[in-house]
Each structure stands twice: as structure tokens, then as C-alpha cells.
Amino acid sequence: MQEPSFWLERIGPRPVRRALSGDLDVDVCVLGAGYTGLWTAYYLAKADPSLRVAVVEGESVGFGASGRNGGWASAKIAGIDRLLADPATRPGAAATYREMIATLDEIGSVVGSERIDCGYTLGGSVVAATRPSHVGRLKEEVVAEHAGGFGEDDLRWMEPDEARRVIAPSRLHGATFTPHCAALDPAALAVGLAAAAERAGVTIYEDTPGTPVLGGVLTPGGRVRAGVVVEGLEAYRTSLPGRRRDVIPVYSLMVVTEALPAETWQTIGLAHRETFSDGRHLIIYGQRTGDGRIAFGGRGAPYHFGSAVRPQFDRDEPTFAFLRETLVDLFPAIRGVHFDGAWGGPLAIPRDWQPSIRFDGSIAVVGGYVGQGVALANLAGRTVRDLILRRDTDITRLPWVGHRSRRWEPEPLRWVGVNLARRLTESVDRAEESGRRPRIRQAVFDRLPVG
């Protein structure tokens, strides 16, 4: 069976965990063996070894976004700059951002103590202004963060000469830099975290799809009776009955180059494995991997009618071609290199682009990370642990706890609206690339609740 990503494929053989067969009684049943489910299970087991914690996974550990993403553990969450810029939301946003900064050290600590070999490197992140129009937007982000109580040590603007010492794309008009981001191998983190959770006493069942029901979870192999159920399904929650409009599954796709020689890296930069992006509206993201490749991804694949999630949607050749062309355009020194992989998968976007944790005492619904879940899922796992154990802590008082996004519109409005927004985004970027300033289209884009 072909693995769903380059990351998972290169790990090689992994433990095969049995499917659930028969009924089961536990204290906590976690749905999904991605980052959210694994961090939650890990922290619960560490906090109270007497708890019976089981994770049920419809496929295998790291099958979803956790094993396919760009490997950015970033302190930023979707929309944080807008939230910091608004005095009404600034205090909560600032508190969340500070906890996310601390989360990067927490992940590094666990990776070290549990000996998870995922190449975790806290090298920061650089966002390049590759068009003149990017400069103003990126500087506005710096202003917003500083207004929220953060300083030059958190996010700063670099003029072109300074920026070029960090990253050297074909066009550079300056860049922002934050130290609050790590690069890692995402599948290796998921696989290592699963092993750490099992060492702590957690039981993981693979090939066991589950549906929440009153008092537990129903699976093909039996019923799991549980005092608390934790849903950590992200985009796959749309497959649950009545949940198709909770989030939309938006596909993000990736490509990866062969390992590049040292002289090519001297031309490109990223000497400290800084993650990188640029100031365009259509999100792109990349990292220098631990073995010297560029792993590069972006949005742009179509949204599929009815919030459908299908294996065939993981591949979209026009998007793969766009990613390869964009990467070569950014770094001409890689022209002619071989690309060793291409893959994709869905991420979850709530209607207001805001993640949430909802817990009523028996069911916790967690997620809506908008592609920023690598680090955010760790904070989620610790928060859900505290909620289940009835701990009143700083993290249980963050504004995403109890937040409820309104549902997405019914079809066909959802399909029309989402794909029109995607085309608008692409149109604005194309206009800026040609040197034009699409003021009307930009004004419409600015009203969209995007991150």
C-alpha cells in the first residue's frame, strides 16, 4: 500500500497495531491518532497513570494532516495579526500567542525527553517580500504584533540587505523574521509521539473508525464505553453524521526536492533551517529538511462539493505543477533538480477561521486549526487534559476554549463561495505579479475572514 506522503514513506516499516475487536471500557476514548489525539492521550496518561486511555484511529497513526503537513511548528495561529490589531480581541490574542511561544519549548522538551527523532530545529521563520506590494502588508503585521505587546525579538522587519543574509530568492524587497517557529519531520513526530503515549500506558487501535454515541464510541469491532470522548479528527470530522458543515476540508498540497548540494544551499540561504514563505495572498510554505531537501507546499487545490474527502483528491497535477514552478521561480539555482515526491491532504477551516475547544463534561471537540496544528495541537492536548482533570489553569481560560464558530452555508452556496474566494485570491496575486494594484479586488479580499 502506498503511503499518503513522502514523510510517511521514508520512515519505513512501522508497528502495526491491531483493530479493536469486542467491547471496551475506558475512562477516556480519543478519536483520531493525529497530533491532537496523541498529545491529549500522552498528557492524560502522564498526569494520571491510573486513567484508562484508548485512542481509536480509522487508518493508522499519522495518516491525516499530522503525517502530511509542511513541518512548521509555529507560534502563530490563523488570523493572529488581525486579532492583535483589534483592541477588543487583543488581550485574548496576546495571551494565546504567549502560550504558543511557550509551546515551542514544551514540544522541544518532550521530543528530547522521549527521544523522538524528528529533526526538531527551532530556527525561526522568514517571510519574504518578493513583490513591492508585499512590503506594506508585511510591515503592517509587525505593527500589529508590536501593538499587542510583542517586540523586535518576536517579529521584526529586515531590509533587503539584511534579509538576503537569511534567504535569497530571485526577488527580494525585504522580509519579516520571527524566532518562534521550528522545522521538523511531521510524520516522525507523530510516530514517535504514538510510541511515547504507549509507553505511558495508552492503548492505540488502528484500522478502527469510530462514531461518537451516547456514553462512548461505536466502532465496527465493538462499542467503547467511556466517561469522556475526545474528538481530534480535524477535516475528517465532516464524515460524522450531521457534521458536514462544521468545517470545510480544504486541500493543501506539497512537493519535495532531492537532497541539494552545499553550494546550492549557499545560494539559497536558510542556514539555520528557517521555515519560509512570502507575502502573496495564496499561502505557500517551505522548509529546509534535516537531510538538505526543500519541502514546499501551498493552497490552491479546489474545494470539493459537499465537503467531500476522497483519496483521489490528495493529488492535483495542476497544483503540483504550480508548486514546482513557483519554487524554481523563487530559487532559480534549483532549476533541473529532481522532485522526489508529491502529495496532499485536507485541513479543516471553520467559518470564522478560528480554532476551538468545546467540552461539556463528556465530549471534547477540538480543532479547526486552519493548517497551523503542528504546535497548536500540543496546546490543545494540554488544555483538554486540564479540562478533563478539572484543573483551572491559565490555558483553560484562553479565548478558544468554549468558542463556537457558526456553521458553513449549505450547498451549493458553500461550493460557490469557497471556490470564488480561491479564484479571487489567485487573481489578486496575479495582478500584483504584473505590477498592478487591484484595489477593488484587494478590498473584497480584506473583508474575507482569512488568516
Query: pLDDT truncated to tens, each residue of the chain (451 aa)?
Result: 678 999 999 998 888 899 999 999 999 999 999 999 999 999 999 999 999 999 999 999 999 999 999 999 999 998 898 899 899 999 999 999 999 999 999 999 999 999 999 999 999 999 999 999 999 999 999 999 999 999 999 999 999 999 999 999 999 999 999 999 999 999 999 999 999 999 999 999 999 999 999 999 999 999 999 999 999 999 999 999 999 999 999 999 999 999 999 999 999 999 999 999 999 988 899 999 999 999 999 987 889 999 999 999 999 999 999 999 999 999 999 999 999 999 999 999 999 999 999 999 999 999 999 999 999 999 999 999 999 999 999 999 999 999 999 999 999 999 998 888 888 887 877 777 777 776 655 655 556 565 4
> 288 exposed, middle or buried (CB, 10 Å; 0-12, 13-18, 19+)?
buried
Residue-level pLDDT at 424: 85
The reply to whether 451 falls in a domain is no
Per-residue confidence (pLDDT) for residue 450, from 0 to 100:
53
* Domain-located, residue 97: yes
Q: Does 108 reside within a domain?
A: yes
Q: Considering the domain boundaries, does residue 426 fall inside one? A: yes
Query: In CATH, what number is assigned to the domain containing residue 176?
Result: 3.50.50.60
pTM, 2 dp = 0.95
- Can you give the length of the chain in residues? 451
| Pairing relationship of beta strands 156-158 and 175-178 according to DSSP bridges | antiparallel
- Please give the grid coordinates belonging to residue 413: 452556496
Residue ranges making up the domain that contains 375: 6-446
Query: Do residues 73 and 104 touch, judged by C-beta distance below 8 A?
Result: yes
| Count of the separate structural domains present in the chain | 1
Instruction: Report pLDDT for 120.
Output: 98
Distance, CA of 346 to CA of 118 (rounded, Å): 22
Residue in this structure with the C-alpha cell 476554549, named with its chain if needed: 401
Pairing of strands 284-288, 294-298: antiparallel
How far separated are the first and last CA of the chain, in Å rounded? Answer: 35
**pLDDT reported for residue 441:** 54
CB 31 within 8 A of CB 38: no
**Residue 1: inside a domain, yes or no?**
no
Q: pLDDT at position 449, please? A: 60
Do 367 and 77 touch, CB atoms closer than 8 A? no
What confidence score (pLDDT) does residue 432 get? Answer: 77
Residue labelled with grid coordinates 466517561: 227
- Domain for residue 373, yes or no? yes
